[in-house]
Amino acid sequence: MTKPPSRIEQRKAELRREIIDTAFDCFAEKGYHATGIADIATRLGIGHGTFYRYFANKRDIIDHVIDEVSGRVFGSLDQGMEPESAATLDEYAALIDRISDSLNRVLLDDPRTAQLLLFHATGIDDELTDRIYGLLDATEILMSRYLEHGVRVGYLRADVDTASTAKAALGMIVAGVVTGMRTPDPAAMAVYSHAVRRLFIDGVAATVR
């Protein structure tokens, strides 16, 4: 039987979580290079020594922040959103709506997420840039799976280039996130999101809805 964590262990875990979240704030607001350990420690009200008991340096903590961000993005897709969960075009349309709503909550309700992924992380070093590109590639592959399933089942056109269509759809999503960051107008974003969803449904449907 696993021994429950002690109060000290719980507090350590909480503080580690608070350091990551505070670093997330600082990186999103000021950028990685303009943020110092002192900024993170001061905002949290801890000493430098306390920070270094949990993380080796600033580069170490950005990896943990990216872990947190990628976990939020992919964690927003629950078990009922697998490609195989749709058997008809209407079910596919409903599935796309649910996925879009979930991603919008992650990427737009917390502006730090998109700011870090799209603007700050890729300018740190080659290793982190490759990691961000890897996240985009993984998203693209996942989107391709939805299209491939629809083609196999028959509710999407047989001639759909699934890889290129997924790449185009991802580009539209990224463009929408950038627009939402520049002009946080929920009504305008709803119109844009609706247009993207229609392209990703009606543009590849086997029959006109």
Mean pLDDT of the chain: 85
Asked if residue 1 belongs to a domain, the reply is no
Specify the number of domains making up the chain.
2
Q: Is the pLDDT of residue 149 over 90?
A: yes
Q: Percentage of residues in the chain with pLDDT exceeding 70?
A: 95
**One-letter amino acid of 36:** G
Instruction: State whether 197 and 131 are in the same domain.
Output: yes
Domain region containing 104: 61-202
Full 3-state SS string of 51-103 = HHCCCCCHHHHHHHHHHHHHHHHHHCCCHHHCHHHCCCHHHHHHHHHHHHHHH
Q: Among the three residues 37, 55, 73, which one is the final residue of a domain in this structure?
A: 55
Cβ 82 vs Cβ 107: under 8 Å: no
Instruction: State whether 130 and 188 are in the same domain.
Output: yes
3-state helix, strand, coil in the chain (%, to 5): 75, 0, 25
**Looking at residues 176-192, what average pLDDT do you find?**
78
Instruction: State whether 42 and 92 are in the same domain.
Output: no
Of 86, 103, 85, 83, nearest to 180 by C-alpha is 103
The pTM (predicted TM-score) of the whole model is 0.80
Asked if residue 143 belongs to a domain, the reply is yes
Asked if residue 2 belongs to a domain, the reply is no
Confidence of residue 209 (pLDDT cuts 50, 70, 90): low
pLDDT tens-digit map of 25-82: 898 888 888 999 999 999 999 998 999 999 999 899 988 888 887 887 777 776 678 8
Token digits for 153? 């089942």
Top-confidence residue, 152 or 6: 152
**Looking at residues 172-177, what average pLDDT do you find?**
84
Alpha-carbon gap, residue 20 to 145, rounded angstroms = 33
Cβ 146 vs Cβ 195: under 8 Å: no
Going by the DSSP 8-state scheme, the letter that residue 183 receives in this structure is S
**Looking at residues 95-100, what average pLDDT do you find?**
85
Asked if residue 158 belongs to a domain, the reply is yes
Q: Is the pLDDT of residue 160 over 70?
A: yes
Exposed/middle/buried for 114, CB within 10 Å: 0-12, 13-18, 19+?
Answer: buried
Instruction: State whether 51 and 73 are in the same domain.
Output: no
Phi-psi map region of 28: left, alpha, beta (phi>0 left; psi -120 to 50 alpha): alpha
Asked if residue 69 belongs to a domain, the reply is yes
Which pLDDT does position 154 carry in this prediction? 94
Asked if residue 207 belongs to a domain, the reply is no
Instruction: State whether 70 and 51 are in the same domain.
Output: no
The most confident of the ranges 5-9, 120-124, 147-151 is 147-151
Instruction: State whether 94 and 47 are in the same domain.
Output: no
Which pLDDT does position 2 carry in this prediction? 60
Q: Is the pLDDT of residue 162 over 90?
A: yes
Taken in order 19, 22, 28, 34, the sign of the CA dihedral is negative
**Looking at residues 170-185, what average pLDDT do you find?**
81
Instruction: State whether 42 and 129 are in the same domain.
Output: no
Instruction: State whether 23 and 118 are in the same domain.
Output: no
Alpha-carbon gap, residue 81 to 129, rounded angstroms = 28
Which pLDDT does position 4 carry in this prediction? 67
Instruction: State whether 106 and 190 are in the same domain.
Output: yes
Token digits for 135? 């996240």
Instruction: State whether 81 and 11 are in the same domain.
Output: no
**Looking at residues 96-119, what average pLDDT do you find?**
78
Which pLDDT does position 40 carry in this prediction? 93
Instruction: State whether 36 and 129 are in the same domain.
Output: no
Confidence of residue 8 (pLDDT cuts 50, 70, 90): confident
Q: What is the CATH number of the domain that holds 88?
A: 1.10.357
Q: What is the CATH number of the domain that holds 38?
A: 1.10.10.60
